[in-house]
Structure 1
C-alpha cells in the first residue's frame, strides 16, 4: 500500500470529476419541468430558502420563456444563485418542501431550473442590475466567499465603493476551495465571481490575509465600515495517538489540494479511511475514490439516523463504492516507519442524548481494526479563535458574536457567515452577507 498520485489516466480523471448534476439540455426540457409547477400561494419552497428566492415567480418566468426575468428574480435574492443551484442540499430545503412530496410524486427540479436561468445569465453576461452613482462611502470586506461577495454586491448596488481583501489567489471561498470538484467546476466559480464584479464598484485584492497582510485597525481608519466574512477553516483534531503519522490528513486540506491542483497531482492512498459523516466527509471520501483509491471506508461513531449529511449525499458515497462502518470511533492510528498502517476503532452503542439532541455514543470495550495507508479527518471545522480574539472582537470560542444585521462588539465592524454561525450552507452565508449589508447601509445612513 502507498500514497501516490497519477493513479488514473487523464480520461478517467475527466470522467470521474465530470458534472454530477447535468443541466437541462435545452429550453424545451426546462419548459416541460417548469410547467409541472402549480405555483403555490404562500409557497413552502420559498419559505424554506434562506435567501427567500421567489421560486414560483422565477419558474413561472421560465414557463413563459422570460429567462432573463427569471435570472433577475433569482439574483435579486441570491447573487450566488448559480452556485447554490449546484451545491445546495435542496432535498432538505426548497425541493424538500415542494408540495409534490405530499402527493408521493417527484418534487419540481427547482435547482436545475434555477441553474438553467443563472448559467445562461452568467454565460451571456447579462447586465441585470444598475449601480447607483458612487456616494463617496467606502467599505472594506474581508473574505471573497459567498458572504463577502453577497455583502459587496448589495452595497455596490447602493453606490458604495467596496474593496474585498481575500487571502487566496481566487475568489469564491468555500465554493472554489471547499466543495467537491464534481459539484462545481473551477471555471464556473471564476465566472460567477466575475459576474458579481461586473456590476462595478467592487475591487478584490488577492493574497491579503487578515492578521498578516492587513489589520482590522488599519481598515477601520481607511474605510467607513468593515465587513468580516472569513468563514471557518481549522480542522478539528481527533486527539488520539498516531495522529501525527505520515498519511494522516485533514479533509479541508485534502479537498483544497483537489480544488487548487490538477487531479493527477493529488496524492491518495490505496486503502483510505475517512472519519466523519458530514458533507465534508462525504466530499473527501467520494473524491478519494474518484482519484483512484481502491477502497474507501467511512467511519462514524453514531448510526445512520444521527448522521449530519443528507441521504442524497450518502447515496453518492455508496454509488461511488465507499464502505461505511457505523458505531465506530477512532481510538488509535498505528504506523510503521512513521507511516500509517492501521486505524483502530472503538465499537460503540448509543446511550442518552447529548446537548445536540442526538444520542451519545458509548464504548463497548471491543474494537475494529482497519488496514489503511491514509486517514482523512473530517470530524468538523473550528473557527479562527486566535485570530478573532487577537482583534478584540467579542466571540464564543472563536465564533464572532453579532446582533441583528451582523453588528459586532466594535462600532462600524460587521460580520456574517460561517465565522459567526460556525459553519452552515453556502446559501446561509449569502443571506448573512445581505443582512450585513443592510446593517452597514443603516450605519452609514444610506437608504
Structure 2
C-alpha cells in the first residue's frame, strides 16, 4: 500500500498532540497590563462615539477604555457587563472588524482602529479571574420565568431576570448549557474551557436553575411552560440544518459543519478526532470558515470552501476570509454543489459554475473529497402556536411573540443579525420587558 493510499479517507491522528496544541492555541492572546495601557492610550474618547452606535449591546466603549487607561480594569469590566453580561465571550468571537472597530475614528483616519475587542477581553478577564461578580440579586419577587435555550440569548435573559429578583428555570436540549458558545464556535477562538467558565461565573447571580436534556417537543411543551410559569422566553436557536438535496448525500463523509464543530469542541484529545485528507466545505458564513480552518488545523491536506456567490457577497467578513486563506484554505466562488460521487464512501464532490443570477453555466469541476461539510444555514424547528416571519418566530418590540406571556430572542427570532452579541442584546431587552410586565401584574 502506498503512502498516499494509506493516508486517504477519514482518520484520526494526522497530527501529533504537540502540533495540535499549537494549532488550536488562542487565536488572539490576551493583552498584558502594559499592552492594554498602550492600546487604551490610542482612544480619542470621542463624544457621541460611532463605536458605541455600532455595538449591538450599546456598551459605553470610550468610558470602559478610559477606565483601563486610568488603571481601573474592574470598573471597566463593570461598565461592559452593565450592558453585556457575556462581554468576555463577545470580546473573543464578535466580528469587531465589521462593528465597533470598523467605525473607529482611528480606523477611518489611519487604517488601524483601537483594539476594542482585545481591550474588552482584558477588562472582563480581569474581573472574572478575581472571581468577582459585579451584580447582586434583588429581593425575590415570587415570580417564575422559564427560559428555553441556554445559549447567548437565554443566558443574557436569565441573568437579567434573576438580577431583578425573579426565579428562572433554564432548559436546554444539550448536556451542557452555553448553546452556540459551547458547541458552535471554533475551538481556537475560545480555548481552555472558557465557555463553561463564563456560564459558571454568570450563574453566581443566583436564582437560576439549569435543567439539561429538555427542549420543546422533548420533555417540554409551550402550553405546559405557560401553565407552570409567569412568563416564558424562547432562545432556542436554529437547530435544523438544510440538506443539499443531491444524490449521494448519504455517503459516509458527508456531514453537517455544525456537528463537526460541536464534536471538536467536546473532544478532550484532538489526536482522536477523525478528519479527511481532502475536505470540501459548502457555504460562506462564519460556520463554514470555522469548519474549514479547523479541518486544516487537524491535518487535512487540502481544504476548499465553495460559495455560490462572489467574494463581496460572502457572509463571513473579509477578516474571516483572510484568516481561512492564511491557514491554507482555498476559497472558490460562483460554484454550487452538483453531485457527490463515491462507492462505500465519498470520493469526489462535483461543483457547477453559476452566473450572477445563480443559473448554472453548464460547466462543472470535480474535487477529490473524503469529507464534505454542509454549512448552508440552519432553520427553525417550529414551535406550535407561534406565528412565524421569514421562517423565524415573529416578534414585536422587545421580543414579544404572537402568544401572550411568551417572548423570543436570538437566532430563532425575526429581525437582527445572527451574531452572539445581537443575541445577548435581544435576551437582555426581552428580560427587561418581561420584568416590566411582571411588575405591572404584581401591582
Q: TM-score, normalised by structure 1?
A: 0.94
Q: Distance in 1 between matches of 2:68 and 2:267?
A: 37
SS, match of residue 205 in structure 2: coil
Checking the alignment, whether the CA contact within 8 Å between 2:186 and 2:261 is kept in structure 1 is yes
Alignment partner for residue 171 of structure 1, among 169, 172, 177? 177
SS, match of residue 102 in structure 2: helix
Alignment partner for residue 393 of structure 1, among 383, 386, 389? 386
Aligned runs of 1:24-103 on 2, under 5 Å?
Answer: 24-25=31-32, 27-103=33-109
Aligned runs of 1:194-233 on 2, under 5 Å?
Answer: 194-233=200-239
Q: In the TM superposition, what is the alpha-carbon distance from 1:297 to its structure 2 partner? A: 1.0
Q: Distance in 1 between matches of 2:12 and 2:221?
A: 39
Aligned runs of 1:287-366 on 2, under 5 Å?
Answer: 287-336=294-343, 338-350=344-356, 360-366=357-363
Find the counterpart in structure 1 of residue 29 from structure 2: 22
SS, match of residue 202 in structure 2: helix
Checking the alignment, whether the CA contact within 8 Å between 2:389 and 2:414 is kept in structure 1 is no
Find the counterpart in structure 1 of residue 418 from structure 2: 424
Q: Distance in 2 between matches of 1:14 and 1:233?
A: 30
Checking the alignment, whether the CA contact within 8 Å between 2:248 and 2:341 is kept in structure 1 is yes
Q: Distance in 1 between matches of 2:180 and 2:188?
A: 14
Find the counterpart in structure 1 of residue 251 from structure 2: 245
Instruction: Report the RMSD for the aligned CA atoms in angstroms.
Output: 1.4
Find the counterpart in structure 1 of residue 364 from structure 2: 367
Q: In the TM superposition, what is the alpha-carbon distance from 1:186 to its structure 2 partner? A: 5.4
Checking the alignment, whether the CA contact within 8 Å between 1:274 and 1:376 is kept in structure 2 is yes
Aligned runs of 1:88-127 on 2, under 5 Å?
Answer: 88-127=94-133
Find the counterpart in structure 1 of residue 10 from structure 2: 3
Q: TM-score, normalised by structure 2?
A: 0.95
Q: In the TM superposition, what is the alpha-carbon distance from 1:442 to its structure 2 partner? A: 2.1
Checking the alignment, whether the CA contact within 8 Å between 1:37 and 1:59 is kept in structure 2 is yes
SS, match of residue 445 in structure 1: helix
Q: Distance in 1 between matches of 2:111 and 2:301?
A: 37
Find the counterpart in structure 2 of residue 270 from structure 1: 277
1:176-221 CA-partner distances (Å, limit 9, x unpaired):
1000000012511111101110111111112222211222222211
Q: Distance in 1 between matches of 2:137 and 2:276?
A: 50
Alignment partner for residue 410 of structure 1, among 391, 398, 403? 403
SS, match of residue 216 in structure 2: coil
Q: Distance in 2 between matches of 1:397 and 1:62?
A: 43
* Structure 2 residue runs without a partner (length 5+): 1-7
Checking the alignment, whether the CA contact within 8 Å between 1:384 and 1:398 is kept in structure 2 is no
Moved >4 Å (runs of 4+): none
Q: In the TM superposition, what is the alpha-carbon distance from 1:238 to its structure 2 partner? A: 1.0
Q: Distance in 1 between matches of 2:213 and 2:23?
A: 31
Q: In the TM superposition, what is the alpha-carbon distance from 1:116 to its structure 2 partner? A: 0.3
Checking the alignment, whether the CA contact within 8 Å between 1:122 and 1:191 is kept in structure 2 is no
Q: In the TM superposition, what is the alpha-carbon distance from 1:169 to its structure 2 partner? A: 1.5
1:56-109 CA-partner distances (Å, limit 9, x unpaired):
000000011111110000000000000000000000000111011221241000
Q: In the TM superposition, what is the alpha-carbon distance from 1:382 to its structure 2 partner? A: 1.1
Checking the alignment, whether the CA contact within 8 Å between 1:383 and 1:397 is kept in structure 2 is no
Query: Are positions 1:435 and 2:429 aligned together?
Result: yes
Query: 1:397–1:44: structure 2 CA closer, same or farther, 3 Å change rule?
Result: closer
1:375-404 CA-partner distances (Å, limit 9, x unpaired):
11111111113xx1xx21111364111111
Find the counterpart in structure 2 of residue 357 from structure 1: none
Find the counterpart in structure 1 of residue 376 from structure 2: 379
Query: Are positions 1:281 and 2:281 aligned together?
Result: no
Find the counterpart in structure 2 of residue 138 from structure 1: 144
Checking the alignment, whether the CA contact within 8 Å between 2:390 and 2:414 is kept in structure 1 is no
SS, match of residue 359 in structure 2: strand
Query: Are positions 1:234 and 2:240 aligned together?
Result: yes
